[in-house]
Chains A and B, each alone.
Chain A
Amino acid sequence: MDLTRSTAAELSDLLKAKQVSAREVAQAHLDRIAAVDGEVHAFLHVAADAALAQAAGIDARRAAGEELPALAGVPVAVKDVFVTEGMPTTCGSRILDGWRPPYDSTIVTRLKANGATILGKTNMDEFAMGSSTENSAYGPTHNPWDLTKIPGGSSGGSAAAVAAYQAPLATGSDTGGSIRQPAAVCGIVGTKPTYGGSSRYGVIAFASSLDTPGPFGRTVLDTALLHEAMSGHDPMDSTSIDAPVPPVVAAARAADVSGMRIGVVTELSGDGYQPGVLSKFAEAVELLEHLGAKVSEVSCPHFKYALPAYYLIAPSECSSNLARFDAMRYGLRAGDDGRLDAEQVMSLTREQGFGAEVKRRIILGTYALSSGYYDAYYGKAQQVRTLIIRDFDAAFGQVDVLISPATPTTAFGIGERADDPMAMYLADLCTIPSDLAGNAAISVPCGLAEEDGLPVGLQVMAPAMADDRLYRVAAAAEAGFTARWGQPLLNHAKGLGA
């Protein structure tokens, strides 16, 4: 049996029944990484020794008769935005090359408490700014479906690792779509939980009012298992919501949409959308109706301003957050020859340590926040944010969830949009509204586009702290589609190697 083809839920059962050991499971995934990551480049750091030691610890506890959590011994890949004690953490940036953090992020602490085996750190766009993982200082990740295509971003390494069977589960972070967009273009499942539902403590900050850690899996149930394990109130994050985690695992098992009211967002379709994306989305709508949902069309008139508002708010917040990389206490220090002063060293370090997109956004944010422009740009974007929240509130007065394509196109070619920032930004067209409103959203595979044979994602959006609705709808769609296709979508992927 190839353990890397098993789902997290299956591995959990096998481990519980002592049919396999956590060490065997870890080794199988480390072997798979060694075999394919030269081509995929999903990982920035593989923690082989630590993973095997952690797994051996789980095996010893199980042998001693201890009752262990569901994910005990199940491997997880961790996006390099999460700080890990003693394990390299770069956030995809030269400025943090070689940095070993002195503490664990809350998400990593929880993964460890759940006994999950941490395989290593995954590639990402530098400081989570990007939609293709091409902005990583360490080179791009390749889409396992077609190695010449981007895996999405910013959590492209995590999505590719799961799609290439290097890990059954992975963590990501979503600020403008950085979980859902890579999940969609890699043909897997990814969730942006409700903002505040998962802790930001130890997640290297990009745009603090938007950053939301979340899970990736190959199935909806697996994604729910990781969602549940990583979420919940954290006193170390003052924006963390002090309420129970929504019943996501139960919802994924229920997989029932009969009688649910589902709204199709009028504004998230039309011009700029690839025909194959729209046709697969139409099939998903038809399937959900067939499964007993009441589908209607809902208008969210301000969603067309979400992208411009986001590209003012996120850069503004990033220009402030990234001021901490000042060459003084950790990370790169360049040009300190004893002659230059602190400010000159700081400017040279940031010039050498940051990539083009990060510089672009810091400068854009500095502009949007500067006096004389603040009201016209940042202030206006914040008002648009209110209007988008009101659109959602009105919509959720009529329907239980909203749906749309997760991305306007399938995976594009590596290099195709690399020097055209506006074209790159359009990849997040469908995902940004939920980030601005702080509610919950998921992407689940809904087929392969006719033109290119690449995966298409169905996005489901739910009100804040109603994350369980995402899993109910996504699991129903997954079951319906798998029955139609005869097998999971990922079985169609070519280019993965044996």
Chain B
Amino acid sequence: MPITRDEVAHLARLSRIALTDQELDHLAPQLDQIISAVAQVQEVAAEGIPPTSHATGVTNVYRSDEPAPCLTPAQALDQAPAVDLQRFRVPRILGTEE
């Protein structure tokens, strides 16, 4: 099933990337080609095969809960695009009508 330009536009919105029309035109056929190629994994008879998300098999790793030095507020804010009153200043998160 081919992936459509509209689907790619939807995925871009979900990914928070404001793709241009030209990018959408270019990307949709490429993604369709890539997805048809990677769909080969579906040829493998994997009935009853457990999935692997991680190769080491390590689970529940703990460390001792001890205070240790961490970044100061000045260090943490030093590279911020905008700062106000020792806080990250961000664009508004609510609509204007609210």
Residues of A within 8 A of B (CB): 99-103, 195-196, 209, 235, 238-239, 241, 302, 305, 308-309, 311-312, 319, 323, 326-333, 336, 338, 340-348, 350-351, 354, 356, 359-360, 362-364, 366-367, 370, 376-377, 379-387, 389, 421-422, 436-439, 464
Query: Chain A: interface secondary structure?
Result: helix
Supply 23 A–B pairs (Cβ within 8 Å), ascending by A.
A238-B61, A239-B56, A241-B58, A305-B40, A311-B38, A312-B38, A312-B41, A330-B81, A331-B81, A341-B91, A347-B13, A350-B17, A351-B18, A359-B17, A363-B12, A364-B35, A367-B35, A380-B46, A381-B41, A383-B51, A384-B44, A389-B55, A437-B55
Interchain CA distance A102-B73 in the complex, whole Å? 11
> A99-B79, A209-B55, A382-B51 given as contacts; is B33 within 8 A of A363 (CB)?
no
From A103, A370, A382, give the contact of B52 (CB < 8 A): A382
From B15, B38, B46, give the contact of A366 (CB < 8 A): B15
B49 to chain A, nearest CB (A): 4
Query: Which residues on the B side are within 8 Å of A345 (C-beta)?
Result: 91
Query: Which residues on the B side are within 8 Å of A351 (C-beta)?
Result: 17-20
Q: Which residue of A lies closest to B43 (CB)?
A: A305
Query: 9 tightest A-B contacts by CB?
Result: A438-B55, A382-B51, A333-B81, A383-B46, A347-B18, A351-B18, A308-B38, A385-B52, A330-B79
Q: Are A360 and B56 in contact (CB under 8 A)?
A: no
Q: Are B53 and A377 in contact (CB under 8 A)?
A: no
Q: Which residue of B lies closest to A336 (CB)?
A: B91
Q: Which residue of B lies closest to A311 (CB)?
A: B38
From B13, B14, B88, B93, give the contact of A329 (CB < 8 A): B88
Q: Are A360 and B30 in contact (CB under 8 A)?
A: yes
> A342-B90, A350-B16, A387-B49 given as contacts; is B31 within 8 A of A360 (CB)?
yes
Query: Which residues on the B side are within 8 Å of A363 (C-beta)?
Result: 8, 11-12, 15, 17, 27, 31
From B12, B17, B58, B81, give the contact of A196 (CB < 8 A): B58
> A328-B88, A362-B17, A366-B11 given as contacts; is B49 within 8 A of A383 (CB)?
yes
> A209-B53, A366-B15, A380-B46 given as contacts; is B41 within 8 A of A330 (CB)?
no
A424 to chain B, nearest CB (A): 11
Q: Are A464 and B55 in contact (CB under 8 A)?
A: yes
Q: Which residues of B68-98 are within 8 A (CB) of A? A: 71, 75-76, 78-82, 88, 90-95
Query: Which residues on the A side are within 8 Å of B90 (C-beta)?
Result: 328, 342
From B8, B19, B41, B63, give the contact of A308 (CB < 8 A): B41
Instruction: Bits for B34-50, please: 1 = Cβ < 8 Å to A, else 0.
Output: 11011111111010011
Residues of B within 8 A of A (CB): 3, 7-8, 11-20, 23, 27, 30-31, 33-35, 37-44, 46, 49-56, 58, 61, 63, 71, 75-76, 78-82, 88, 90-95
Known: A102-B75, A382-B53, A386-B51. 8 other contacts (CB 8 A): A209-B53, A239-B56, A305-B40, A331-B79, A364-B31, A366-B15, A386-B49, A421-B34
> A209-B54, A342-B91, A380-B46 given as contacts; is B61 within 8 A of A354 (CB)?
no
Query: Which residues on the B side are within 8 Å of A360 (C-beta)?
Result: 27, 30-31, 34
> A308-B41, A311-B34, A348-B18 given as contacts; is B55 within 8 A of A436 (CB)?
yes
Q: Are A241 and B30 in contact (CB under 8 A)?
A: no
Query: Which residues on the A side are within 8 Å of B18 (C-beta)?
Result: 344, 347-348, 350-351
Q: Which residue of A lies closest to B64 (CB)?
A: A235
Q: Which residue of A lies closest to B50 (CB)?
A: A386
From A103, A341, A367, A438, give the contact of B95 (CB < 8 A): A341
Query: Which residues on the A side are within 8 Å of B91 (C-beta)?
Result: 336, 338, 340-342, 344-345
Q: Which residue of A lies closest to B56 (CB)?
A: A196
Interchain CA distance A380-B34 in the complex, whole Å? 16
> A312-B41, A387-B49, A421-B34 given as contacts; is B54 within 8 A of A346 (CB)?
no
> A341-B95, A366-B11, A377-B38 given as contacts; is B3 within 8 A of A102 (CB)?
no
Q: Which residue of A lies closest to B37 (CB)?
A: A422
Interchain CA distance A329-B90 in the complex, whole Å? 8
Interchain CA distance A305-B49 in the complex, whole Å? 15
> A363-B15, A384-B46 given as contacts; is B56 within 8 A of A195 (CB)?
yes
Interchain CA distance A389-B35 in the complex, whole Å? 24
Q: Are B56 and A235 in contact (CB under 8 A)?
A: no
Interchain CA distance A380-B38 in the complex, whole Å? 10
B3 to chain A, nearest CB (A): 7
A365 to chain B, nearest CB (A): 8
Q: Are B88 and A376 in contact (CB under 8 A)?
A: no
Interchain CA distance A278-B61 in the complex, whole Å? 44
From B55, B76, B81, give the contact of A327 (CB < 8 A): B81
Interchain CA distance A101-B76 in the complex, whole Å? 9
Q: Which residue of A lies closest to B3 (CB)?
A: A367
Q: Are A366 and B14 in contact (CB under 8 A)?
A: yes
Query: Which residues on the B side are within 8 Å of A356 (C-beta)?
Result: 23
Q: Which residue of B lies closest to A332 (CB)?
A: B81
Q: Which residue of B lies closest to A389 (CB)?
A: B52
Interchain CA distance A327-B79 in the complex, whole Å? 11
Query: Which residues on the B side are within 8 Å of A311 (C-beta)?
Result: 34, 37-38
A59 to chain B, nearest CB (A): 30
Q: Are A319 and B15 in contact (CB under 8 A)?
A: yes
Q: Are B37 and A308 in contact (CB under 8 A)?
A: yes
Query: Which residues on the B side are within 8 Å of A326 (C-beta)?
Result: 16
